[in-house]
Amino acid sequence: MKKIFIVGFIALGLLSGCTKYLDVKTYGKAIPETSEEFAALLHTHLNDIDYGNIETLLDNPDALLDIEVITDNFSLPLSLSGGRNLPKYIGSSLNDKQVRYEKIYAVIRDANIIVDNMKSVANQGDKNVLGTAHALRAVAYYQLLKEYCEPYTTDDQAGLPIVRSFDMEERPLRSSYGQTVAFIADEFEKALTYDVKDDIYRYTADVVKAYQARFYFWIREWEKASVLAKYIVDKYPLVRGKHYVDMIQSKHAKLENVLLKSYIYGGGNSDNSAVAAQNNITQRPLSKNFTDLFVEKEKDIRYVLSFDEKRINNKVLNGRVRSAEFQLILAESYAHLGKEDLALQAINKLRAHRIEDNIDWTVATLPEVDAKSLITVDAEGKPISKLINSILNERRKELYAEGDRFFELKRNGRPEFWSADNGLKYTTEEYMYTFPLPRLDIEVVPGLVQNKGYKY
């Protein structure tokens, strides 16, 4: 009996020694060690862009279809029979945005693992990995800011939960908008210190500067946006004619002044969905309100490139970062800074590359603002001027089918509008321009504040 107790006591001691399972933080074997192992974390996400797999960092054809057909560029009532399954308005996909939020934070998680644990920066290979990790983190947070926060008005408004390191137990609350912006700005600067030039990492220094321009433009830092935009357009000049058409209609190849492109490799799992997206977009004609913007008709190279005589899409769907966007950022930034002459110069330069026999606009010859236009206030909340209205209309034509319109509406006043299908009215309300944080997070994390308007 005594021996049994002794043995039992020893066994108990052995059992209680096994406390390793209580430790939830990861150590040792789970963390990469070499720069190749760290790089593997990046290439998962970069491959998703290259093969057009998922749209987390850059829209693939499927994502572009969903975000385009719900805007005022398209007409829901005119949908053909094959367009019944297309989203009717942004409300059709708002609940799905919860999954998108989680996917973006998964990119941040992997970037955090690299930034936290990669100690050696001995050579350019290491710098490429660390620089790209910072770039991905900056771009991911910028995407989240654009989609899940309201447009900037004050630094105190709600920003994002900022997760700087990999910790499964961490449940941060939302930082302020000002804190979020400061973090993102810092991340972009850190990415640039590594001066990534190897294109295999996709987010080279110039691509980072392009996103930095987009970021400053979104938060209304016009001076900073204009400096970066000028750098991009000077280094990647606008093209015209056949070069422009080939660049836009290229299904895979990244041509001319395109800095970054989704789906550059075909033959993977995305081929079927890309073909389907290109077919499905033809099931919803474009709105007359949009096509009427092409005043110069066939003299504007974008007229035939964008749609046919039945207002059916012609443009190849592909996520891109290209120079013309920064020409538009430059023009609008100058306009907001009160530099009218420079703004006109910038927008006229774009038009000269697009419209045959173009006559430059002057302050006196700018078109009037259409009273029926959805956008009535600019990004600063002021009544829209003829100059900014003209720039926004050029942007709407230039970046048609590139995932821009919805966010332009968000940036410029979040106008409510409705569309109709089968006798029912679907209204895009102001709050719907800001996507919801996942409901599971709201329920599990005490104090985490949801965006306005979302009920359950």
By beta-carbon proximity to other proteins, the closer residue of 247 and 437 is 437
Task: Give the relative orientation of helices 124-148 and 97-117 as an angle to the nearest 10 degrees.
Answer: 150
How far apart CA 68 and CA 70 sit, in angstroms, is 5
Residue 376's CB: how many other CB atoms inside 10 A? 13
In angstroms, give the least distance from the CB of 403 to other proteins. Answer: 22
In angstroms, give the least distance from the CB of 181 to other proteins. Answer: 27
In angstroms, give the least distance from the CB of 84 to other proteins. Answer: 15
Residue 16's CB: how many other CB atoms inside 10 A? 8
Q: Please give the torsion angle defined by the CA atoms of residues 378, 384, 388 and 389, in that order, rounded to the nearest 10 degrees.
A: 110
Report the candidate in 243, 361, 365 with the shortest Cα–Cα distance to residue 301.
Answer: 243
Q: Is the distance from CB of 114 to CB of 42 less than 8 angstroms?
A: yes
Residue 60 structure tokens: 């693939």
By beta-carbon proximity to other proteins, the closer residue of 24 and 364 is 24
In angstroms, give the least distance from the CB of 110 to other proteins. Answer: 11
Q: Is the distance from CB of 263 to CB of 319 less than 8 angstroms?
A: yes
Task: Give the relative orientation of helices 124-148 and 177-193 as an angle to the nearest 10 degrees.
Answer: 160
How far apart CA 200 and CA 124 sit, in angstroms, is 13
In angstroms, give the least distance from the CB of 21 to other proteins. Answer: 5
By beta-carbon proximity to other proteins, the closer residue of 70 and 335 is 70
Q: Is the distance from CB of 130 to CB of 116 less than 8 angstroms?
A: no
In angstroms, give the least distance from the CB of 7 to other proteins. Answer: 5
In angstroms, give the least distance from the CB of 292 to other proteins. Answer: 11
Q: Is the distance from CB of 229 to CB of 333 less than 8 angstroms?
A: yes
By beta-carbon proximity to other proteins, the closer residue of 4 and 364 is 4
How far apart CA 355 and CA 367 sit, in angstroms, is 16
In angstroms, give the least distance from the CB of 297 to other proteins. Answer: 14
By beta-carbon proximity to other proteins, the closer residue of 341 and 443 is 443
By beta-carbon proximity to other proteins, the closer residue of 109 and 240 is 109
By beta-carbon proximity to other proteins, the closer residue of 88 and 395 is 88
How far apart CA 94 and CA 332 sit, in angstroms, is 30
By beta-carbon proximity to other proteins, the closer residue of 6 and 276 is 6
Q: What residue ranges bind other proteins (CB under 8 A)?
A: 3-4, 7-8, 10-11, 14-15, 17-18, 20-21, 23, 26-30, 75, 77-78, 91, 94-95, 98-99, 102, 168, 285, 288, 309-311, 418, 420, 423-427, 429, 436, 438-440, 443, 454-456
